[in-house]
Amino acid sequence: MSVTATDPIPVRALNQVTYCPRLYYLQYVDCVMPTNEHVEGGLFDHRRVDDPELKNKTRADRGTATSRGIALSSEALGISGVLDVIEEKNGEQYPVETKHGSAPHDTDGRTTVWDNDAVQLCAQALLMEEAFGKPVPRGFQFHVGSKERVEVKFTDALRQKTRDAVARCRELTVLDAPPEPLPPELRHRCFGCSLAPVCLPEETLYQIGHPAPAAGEEKAVPEVTRVIPQSDDGAVLYLQEPGTSVGKRSEHLVVKKEGKELSRVPMHAVRQVVVCGNVQISTQALETLAANEIPVAYVTGHGRFIGSFVPALAKNVSLREAQFKQFSDPAVCLELARAAVRAKLSNQRTLLMRSLRDDDTRGSKEYGARGLYDLLRSLDGVTSVESLLGMEGQGAALYFAEFGRFLKEPPTGKGFDFTTRNRRPPRDPVNALLSFAYAMLAKDCFAAVCTVGFDPYKGFFHSGKHGKPSLALDLMEEFRPVIADSVVLTLINNEMVSRADFVTWRGACQLTEAGRRAFFAAYEQRKATVITHPVYGYRMSYSRMLEVQARMLASFVRGGIPSYTGFTTR
């Protein structure tokens, strides 16, 4: 739920804003709601409280009347909420809130309560006082983990802190960007937070304190503590056999052909579905995939990314407003395009140097590497995006002029030749592999920018033609050599594909079904490769890196960090 400046603030939001204002903004203004084991545990602990058969019903037991799931709202207070439990005993009413985990203890070993939990419980008391006209001097928190019940007294100071939390929510709701992450003394709260992979607190603060170094300046050694998960959950399901259909049965995707079941995949084990060619997916399966926020990407057999069926657009409108405003500024577009081209040229040069490390023929690797290095040195003097496009083209010409030398000759002598880059359609096996690899990378970058909340069709570097996902292609530039090109070289140099894995018809070359299977395996293995982030210094998979870069781009667009740095590898 997106909170406006006049909507009642949910009582549970007062807990978040007291714990971390940035958490409140991301969850209630940007409407980002991921879950982790702590969130799932809390939902499990509330299963009895949230039971619809028990809501709004009162039961008496041993002199205590218990009511569950009572919804209260107050225009005067500006808050609303559903109270877990209201107990009444000896004429006194008080709220009882269920909490996951164990109760905290003070230095003397006595049970106590966290400030943010106390504020949430106090807000419930304020709602009760207005609704029932009776004072509520205290409440209780029940901690499932330790089976302890802790009394909370609603002092004047706590009541004022609760009203201040409501006012803080109002202030944050009208901001165009989230506030800065918590200061160092409170950073321990980030560990275990379900929003840490979205918030990126350590990374954001590092960028604020360490702007991108000037040309020729030595980059500082980062001291960033990783608070995000290293790998992604779930796998990519590739569907490519012609004539197959995909349906839903219970919590599984069922793949069939001619009425015969080929495979059954648990929904929770899938993070993305990729459809190549003539494959049908039922409406029920698509609905379930969308409900579980699992995108479905469509790619032609020729290696062209068509588009994606994705869940409803992210609700953080302020990011898209900032995106359109910033990407309409030529200076901002030039800065971002320079970072993207710098990363691409640097990664092309790195791959060239690696691939030709032992090759001393035809002048070794010096010509192409020197040309790319000269282009990198001249980037800071470029004054327009159009000039950067020209330099990117020069770099591609230098790089692909040497690409044929990256390919190893197999002992059988039946290798692959590469003379020049061609596409639409590709006319030889190497170009077919490159085009297919770029299509796969494009769909992953498309998914990354959509996940963050961008409009994928408004970019800063590529022209915004109708139907062209310009921003996804902009993000893709940094990763072309290190993901897509690297997969192609792995397939050929390790003899994972042969000429039998390609078919040519009317001058167009494409992979066969068996060739695509080999490609998908190599591509997913490459995305799972763990590498070191060039700015933050810790390791993550390439798959995770795509989203991290997209999130840092979003932070720059909204003014959260002073500069954006493209991904480079050594």
Say if domain 9-175 classifies as CATH 3.90.320.10: yes
Beta bridge partner(s), residue 66 = 59, 87
Task: Name the phi and psi angles at 353, rounded to 5.
Answer: -65, -40
pLDDT at position 38, please? 44
CA distance 194 to 204: 17
Q: How confident is the model at residue 345 (pLDDT cuts 50, 70, 90)?
A: very high
For the stretch 60-111, pLDDT in tens is 666 788 888 889 999 999 999 999 889 898 888 999 998 877 888 888 888 8
Q: Is the pLDDT of residue 153 over 90?
A: yes
pLDDT at position 200, please? 78
For the four alpha carbons of 392, 460, 524 and 199, in that order, the dihedral sign comes to positive
Distances (CA, A) of 495 to 408, 410, 433, 480: 9, 8, 13, 21
Look at residues 142, 141, 135 and name the one whose alpha carbon lies nearest to residue 119: 141
Tokens of 169: 């929510």
pLDDT at position 152, please? 92
pLDDT at position 44, please? 43
Q: Is the pLDDT of residue 121 over 90?
A: yes
Say if domain 235-294 classifies as CATH 3.10.105.10: no
pLDDT at position 232, please? 53
pLDDT at position 4, please? 56
- Return the top range by mean pLDDT from 122-131, 359-368, 443-452, 456-465: 122-131
pLDDT at position 273, please? 84
Q: Is the pLDDT of residue 216 over 70?
A: no
Which of 30-34, 342-346, 427-431 is predicted with the least confidence, judged by mean pLDDT?
30-34
Q: Tell me what the mean pLDDT of segment 105-121 comes to.
A: 88
Continuous H helices in 309-380: 317-326, 330-355, 366-378
Biggest CA–CA distance in the chain, Å, is: 95
Look at residues 249, 205, 223, 260 and name the one whose alpha carbon lies nearest to residue 22: 205
Q: Tell me what the mean pLDDT of segment 355-377 comes to.
A: 71
CA distance 130 to 439: 59
Percentage of the residues of the chain whose pLDDT score is greater than 90:
21
CA distance 457 to 471: 6
Q: Is the pLDDT of residue 495 over 60?
A: yes
Average pLDDT, the chain: 81
pLDDT at position 361, please? 52
Q: Is the pLDDT of residue 130 over 60?
A: yes
CA distance 1 to 29: 8
For the stretch 388-445, pLDDT in tens is 888 888 888 888 888 888 888 766 656 678 888 887 788 888 888 998 899 889 888 9
Q: Is 288 buried (19+), middle (13-18) or exposed (0-12) by CB count in 10 A?
A: middle
pLDDT at position 508, please? 84
CB 337 within 8 A of CB 195: no
pLDDT at position 408, please? 80
CA distance 306 to 295: 13
Q: Is the pLDDT of residue 373 over 50?
A: yes
What single DSSP character describes residue 25? I
Q: Is the pLDDT of residue 137 over 70?
A: yes
Tokens of 287: 């609905």
For the stretch 227-282, pLDDT in tens is 444 445 567 788 777 778 888 887 788 888 877 888 787 777 777 788 877 788 88
Q: Is the pLDDT of residue 43 over 50?
A: no
pLDDT at position 61, please? 65
pLDDT at position 155, please? 94
pLDDT at position 41, please? 45
C-alpha dihedral, 42 to 43 to 47 to 53, nearest 10°: 130
CA distance 317 to 124: 31
For the stretch 165-215, pLDDT in tens is 999 999 998 888 888 888 878 878 877 777 777 777 777 777 776 555 544
Q: How confident is the model at residue 37 (pLDDT cuts 50, 70, 90)?
A: very low
Output the 3-class SS for 479-531.
HHHHHHHHHHHHHHHCCCCCHHHEEEECCEEEECHHHHHHHHHHHHHHHCCEE
pLDDT at position 177, please? 80
For the stretch 484-493, pLDDT in tens is 999 999 998 8
